[in-house]
Chain A
Amino acid sequence: MLQEAAFTKVKAETSNGSGADLLIEALKREKVEVIFGYPGGAVLPIYDKIYDCGITHVLPRHEQGGIHAAEGYARISGKAGVVIATSGPGATNIVTGLADAMMDSLPLVVFTGQVATGVIGTDAFQEADILGITTPITKHNCQIRSVEEIPRVIKEAFHIATTGRPGPVLIDFPKDIAALIGEAPTDPEISLPGYQPTLEPNYLQIRKLAEAVSTAKKPVILAGAGILFAKASDLLLEYAEQQQLPIVNTLLGLGSFPADHPLSLGMAGMHGCYTANMALYECDLLINIGARFDDRLTGNLKHFAPKATVAHIDIDPAEIGKNVPTAIPVVGDAREALSMLVKQDGKTPQHSEWMKKLESWKKEYPYWYENAESPLKPQRVMEMLYEKSNGDGIVVTDVGQHQMWAAQYYPFKKPNRWVTSGGLGTMGFGLPAAVGAQLADRSACVIAVLGDAGFQMSTQELAVIKEFNLPIKIAIFNNRSLGMVRQWQEIFYEERYSHSKISVQPNFVKLAEAYGIKAYEITTESEADSILNEVMEANEPVLLDFRVAESENVYPMIAPGKGSHEMVGVKK
């Protein structure tokens, strides 16, 4: 049961140094390029080693910004984002980011300082029980108890964070251990008898799925972020073309299948398109690959895919059958599963009727809005951002209406160009996540699509953008309100706009300028056109304050409690 081989290996080389030295060495072994960290008392021994360690260190202006930046970095680079925070308030400041990363399965390795071992449990200065606080929102967490175990624990943390279903791992690092000198193996063996994610799917289940596909009349694939984590977009494309299977994307799965492909039906969910939602409702075979049937996707479960045989490919067995009864469960890595599926023989589905129907829906019910020269329409701004970036930007969003418009009006052709807080829906995520995304891909055109309220939850990170001269295009969709809240109040609360309209707002242009960042206020389409032409290619950050229509709503919409076939606002 215990991996015996792990214990019989010859004793590895050891190295001598302080706990902090061993930490830095371990990070280097993991080829960490960037640390998002904020110093403080409990991590001073670690910071003394960071001083000249050679790894890029980014100082966010708030720890929450640091962890969101690490999330953006992880999403784009596919590697673990590394975060360091001090004990107590430093550690509690990253709690939201951990919950966010847990929900969206982002690999993070987070170090928190802790008070010295001798005073743990005495309510010492800046002590917080961060293990207790973060147990439910981390894939794993633990505390360093001795110098010797540091290399192993860190190696295990990276392994856990990045394999299986990725997620955040937190290591609590008592101050005295960081300063203590000890001897430890440099290449420790991982010892995790309880952690062996299933990668290779069961062949019989794959056969069953292939047979279901060959007899389906109305098949559809639901492609989630699991495809992106598994780097399986190419195989998804191959399989979809081979079997002529139409693809619906989840919000987080955008980019896993090229949006301009004839088989792409677009995004499903609360603000997804008619065709995608109706395809889920009408299908007779639903193949979920790497999505978790989140309630914002399914709507009322009673009406979800009522006629379908459900197949679900997921690396996390607990997701299968959690929300939707599943006839064909396939536990495994999406890439492995798809590579097995493309090799199955069997006839392709006879589903020309279905394909015709889907095609006609696509024509009949595209996303729509009514344009106007003034006030500027947010959907139009999004379209322009798409055009001016040749559809090749990395789009990072905050949370709210603008997020949905970004998902709707920026059709991704490639994987890993989309960073958004899907599961937790964390306002304040966008600006720092853009920092991380740009650090992961220095040459990309990173567009931060933000609401005016969410921007104000992370404004301070402008300083980092300036410091590293990250050429992020910060697009604020300024509707002078908490737009998504305002929309719900309009529709469900008789237009009683309780605290969703913002009467006092800073001058965003001046604010950006105070940070030394160029900025423009934009009120018309022609202004948008000329300014975007000017700044899109610039090799420096720029902030664009788009003054958009205040009472625009996101449509279509599945109201809470409704089924995916009960969308409103599908047509003009």
Chain B
Amino acid sequence: MKRIITLTVLNRPGVLNRITNLFSKRNYNIESISVGHTEQEGVSRITCVVNVENGGVCEQITKQLNKQIDVIKVTDISDQAVVARELALIKVQSLPHTRNEIYSLIEPFRASVIDVGKDSLIIQITGESDKVEAFIELIKPYGIKELARTGTTAFPRSSQRTNQAKNYSIV
């Protein structure tokens, strides 16, 4: 099962190494990881998507992450109402007779064309991973020349509908 874990960490040297190291040391698989600054100076936010066999493994991951001195907070937000977004850049082959078709796919996905070349386009798409995935599948037959994805970044929505939110970090 896929789980989304978010961390806030002190932005100190080696902190990312510490996190990824822990995943490999404990034999956990990361699907994606994204890192960036937050509203607070010196604090970064990391979003990890992991694929685990069961909830127990995910609980272990969050606990182990929490033990890192530079990690301030770890939350498994998978069971909360979240906003999760990923960005992908796709360079796709576009020939005169396929260009219109490609444009017609872009629109319903609210993707956009950000660069046009002689025989290729660069498309930018944002959304939940599944949407990005679906779009890539659709565009594949036209010939993807290059693809770059950021990995998911996420946080909980302001209002949670249920109170089933699971938070492992306060054990």
Contact = CB atoms under 8 A, between A and B. Distances in A.
B71 A194 contact: yes
A194 B64 contact: no
B118 to A, nearest CB: 41
A318 B14 contact: no
B14 A139 contact: no
Contact of A194 (B13, B63, B72): B72
A317 B171 contact: yes
A194 B17 contact: no
Interface stretch (A32-40, A66-74, A130-138): A130-138
A557 to B, nearest CB: 29
A199 to B, nearest CB: 14
A317 B63 contact: yes
Nearest to A193: B72
Contacts of B56: 321
Interface string A295-335: 00000000000000000000011101110000001010000
Given A1-B73, A136-B22, A318 B67 contact: yes
Contact of B171 (A140, A192, A331): A331
B72 A143 contact: no
A169 to B, nearest CB: 9
A135 B69 contact: no
Contacts of B72: 1, 193-194
A247 to B, nearest CB: 27
Contacts of B97: none
B10 interface: yes
Contacts of A160: 69
A492 interface: no
Contact of B60 (A1, A132, A194, A318): A318
Interface in B63-90: 63-64, 66-73
B69 A132 contact: no
B37 interface: no
Interface range, B side:
20 to 34
A194 B69 contact: yes
Contacts of B25: 136
A139 B171 CA distance: 19
A139 B69 contact: yes
Interface in B94-141: none
B5 interface: no
Contacts of B73: 1, 194
Interface range, A side:
20 to 34
B112 to A, nearest CB: 37
Interface string A102-142: 00000000000000000000000000000110011001111
A135 B21 contact: yes
B18 A135 contact: yes
Interface in A405-431: none
A135 B26 CA distance: 13
A316 B69 CA distance: 13
Contacts of A1: 72-73
Contacts of B18: 135
Nearest to A165: B67
Given A135-B18, A318-B67, A194 B171 contact: no
Contact of A135 (B12, B17, B66): B17
B9 interface: yes
Contacts of A317: 63, 66, 171
B69 A195 contact: yes
Nearest to B24: A136
Contacts of A195: 69
B71 A143 contact: no
Nearest to A329: B171
A294 to B, nearest CB: 16
Interface string A179-213: 00000000000001111000000000000000000
A103 B39 CA distance: 37
A318 B71 CA distance: 15
A155 to B, nearest CB: 14
A316 B67 contact: yes
B76 to A, nearest CB: 14
Nearest to B169: A317
A195 B69 CA distance: 5
A113 B118 CA distance: 56
Given A145-B13, A194-B72, 11 more contacts: A131-B14, A136-B22, A193-B10, A194-B9, A194-B68, A194-B69, A194-B70, A318-B60, A318-B63, A321-B59, A322-B60
22 contacts: A131-B14, A132-B17, A135-B17, A135-B18, A136-B22, A139-B69, A140-B69, A142-B12, A192-B69, A194-B9, A194-B10, A194-B68, A194-B70, A194-B73, A316-B67, A317-B63, A318-B60, A318-B64, A318-B66, A318-B67, A329-B171, A331-B171
